[in-house]
Amino acid sequence: MRTVRLALAQLNMTVGDIEGNARKIVDTLARARGQGANLVLFPELAISGYPPEDLLLKPDFIEANLRALDEIRRATAHITAVVGYPAADEYDIYNAAAVLQNGTLVGTYRKHYLPNYGVFDENRYFGEGLESPVFDFGGDIVGVSICEDIWYPVGPPQLQALSGGAELLANISASPYYRGKGHDRERMIATRAADNVAIVAYCNLVGGQDELVFDGHSLVVGPRGEVLARGPAFEEALILVDVDLEEVFRARLHDPRRRKDVELARQFSPQVPRVEAAPLVEDPEDRPPIEPTLADPPEPLEEVYGALVLGTRDYVRKNGFETVVLGLSGGIDSSLTATIAVDALGADHVVGVAMPSRFSSEGSVRDARALARNLGIRLLTIPIEAPFQGYLDALADAFAGTPFGVAEENIQARIRGNYLMALSNKFGWLVLTTGNKSESAVGYATLYGDTAGGFAPIKDVFKTLVYDLARWRNARPDGPIIPESVLTKPPSAELRPNQKDTDTLPPYDVLDVILELYVERDYSAQEIVEQGFAPALVERVIRMVDRAEYKRRQVPPGIKITTRAFGKDRRLPITNRYRYRTE
């Protein structure tokens, strides 16, 4: 029996904090060694943090990262580690994995498939790897790959398993989250393990980085596609599991089809060099068995909420803020955003501001107070009536003969934005904006008003999902938090008498379906009509989306939770005359 104790270091790294990331890696090596681990995997670009973007264009950044790698190398006595870092030679830099053992650099692997879609820009920075080495640890054969390399059915892990005989395929990753990705990723990893009759160990990054959240959900899957270990979502963990490499050999003996694949793969053997190293396991008899980490995957709404909490916490903390401030209107969006902020940072680090106007209903003011009381946060009340009347007086001559309209409505939103930014400047608080994806999509927001701020937690959350998340959070053991009246009253900006969102927009349960088809799936207007929507409605919504591109360029970053978030995911020109039309 050839049993190897694997440790998957599912860590939260910070981009650019090379010294801090290195210390975390060294400390984790000590923890893993203390628990009898033989092989420890760290995430993709663990030393630099992911994605480092244009930091990679700074030679001193690369050099500092290499010095950190050398420090980590010296900490690998009696243990083997795979550590992600930016490597360099005289020609280029590479997204690489260092294989370290007993204080030596055994070898490196360079990532082959460099994603350049969605939020990724790796072709901008890295050269491609050309070899798929396997590491022979005294007869235990390990293939190392990085993130995207394992998403292709025919890629480096397959070559390592077929041509190189790798029994353990170790993949280090920084795979950004979107709804349902954990399930999709687990299915893919199980397929790779079964197809290659190998154990696959997949170590993913966890944490927030600007718009991105990395969910962890690291995995070890056996040669029949069975999950042997699973890390938790949205939290750091050291995932331990004992794997029997002899089981891989037995499984391969029972799969004669694999022999044909091996014959075909032999032609690629020059690309699969073998690197000799010391055995992974030194004293197997001195180690009692362990129970593997096997965390349950979160439910769908719990998953999204967890991503929003982690993304908010890390953006605030990693950027040096302690406290956030946001406007509390008594509406659903600000209520959910405040609740996320408290769950992320604690009630002592969240300040709500009620800014009532002549149009604010008593119910909304009451709901804002009730929410603040339920959350245990400080609530400031700063009416906007005096400055609003001052604006109207100052503009009276310029506006003479015109009816009350959007200009007067937006003045109120901008006063509120000014209030929040003044508090931010005075006390060093980060302003959270509370707009959702539905509003951002159609431009139902005021530039320099409700879009003013530093971070937008629910920027990628459609309005219907906002309600679902609020109801889910209210159903938790410490709930309900958000007053029921917030969930049941018609949504309104309350910028004019008796205003409702449906005065300007279709009902959100209709709007969000159209937006998902157009924004996330790139359906044409005619294709959306064929889903059962009125042509005039479809054209109207698409026109609003297209015209609002300039607004979306000026809003704060927010957490990506869908497959097509505005920003890095969906990039359209502002100056653009192409328009979809129904037939």
Q: What is the pLDDT of residues 359-377, one digit of tens each?
A: 888 888 999 999 999 999 9
Percent of the chain exceeding pLDDT 70 equals 97
Give residue 578's pLDDT band: very low, low, confident or very high (50, 70, 90): confident
User: How much is the mean pLDDT over the chain?
Assistant: 93
pLDDT at 58 over 90: yes
Q: How many of the other CB atoms lie within 10 Å of CB of 336?
A: 27
Q: How many of the other CB atoms lie within 10 Å of CB of 246?
A: 13
3-state per-residue secondary structure call for 49-80: CCCCHHHHHCHHHHHHHHHHHHHHHHCCCCCE
> Can you give the pLDDT at residue 493?
81
pLDDT at 580 over 80: no
> Can you give the pLDDT at residue 265?
66
> Can you give the pLDDT at residue 495?
81
Non-local CB neighbours of 500 within 8 Å, separated by 6+ positions: 490, 491, 492
316-326 average pLDDT score? 97
Q: Which is catalytic among the residues 24, 44, 148, 318?
A: 44
Tell me, yes or no, if 147 is annotated catalytic: yes
Sequence length of the chain is: 583
Contact predicate 448/414, CB 8 Å: yes
pLDDT at 259 over 80: no
Q: Residue 140 pairs with which residues in a beta bridge? A: 137
Contact predicate 221/227, CB 8 Å: yes
Run of H or E including 549 = helix 549-552
pTM of the shown model: 0.94
**Lowest model confidence (mean pLDDT) among 163-172, 306-315, 376-385, 573-582:** 573-582
395-408 average pLDDT score? 94
pLDDT at 263 over 70: no
> Can you give the pLDDT at residue 573?
86
Q: Is 487 exposed, middle or buried (0-12, 13-18, 19+ CB in 10 A)?
A: middle
Helix axes 332-345, 463-474, angle to 10 degrees: 50
> Can you give the pLDDT at residue 194?
93
pLDDT at 253 over 80: yes
> Can you give the pLDDT at residue 271?
83
Half-sphere exposure of 84 (CA within 13 A, CB side): 32
466-479 average pLDDT score? 96
332-341 average pLDDT score? 97
53-78 average pLDDT score? 96
Percent of the chain exceeding pLDDT 90 equals 82
pLDDT at 408 over 60: yes
Instruction: Name the nearest CA neighbour of 417 among 394, 448, 438.
Output: 448
Tell me, yes or no, if 44 is annotated catalytic: yes
Domain boundaries, given as residue ranges, for the chain: 3-286, 302-497
pLDDT at 250 over 90: no
pLDDT at 1 over 60: no
Question: Same CATH fold, 302-497 and 3-286?
Answer: no
Yes or no: domain 3-286 corresponds to CATH 2.40.50.140: no
> Can you give the pLDDT at residue 577?
82
411-416 average pLDDT score? 95
> Can you give the pLDDT at residue 268?
63
3-class DSSP assignment, residue 454? coil
pLDDT at 494 over 60: yes
Q: Which is catalytic among the residues 24, 147, 318, 439?
A: 147
* Beta strands in 409-543, from DSSP E residues, in sequence order: 430-431
451-459 average pLDDT score? 96
Q: How far apart are CA 38 and CA 25, in angstroms?
A: 15
271-278 average pLDDT score? 90
Give residue 262's pLDDT band: very low, low, confident or very high (50, 70, 90): low
**Lowest model confidence (mean pLDDT) among 51-55, 68-72, 130-134, 270-274:** 270-274
419-436 average pLDDT score? 97
pLDDT at 205 over 80: yes
Q: What is the pLDDT of residues 94-127, one digit of tens each?
A: 999 999 999 999 999 999 999 988 888 898 999 9
> Can you give the pLDDT at residue 2?
81
Tell me, yes or no, if 494 is annotated catalytic: no
Q: How far apart are CA 10 and CA 233, in angstroms?
A: 10
State which fold the 302-497 domain adopts. Rossmann fold (3.40.50)
Q: Which is catalytic among the residues 111, 318, 459, 463?
A: 111
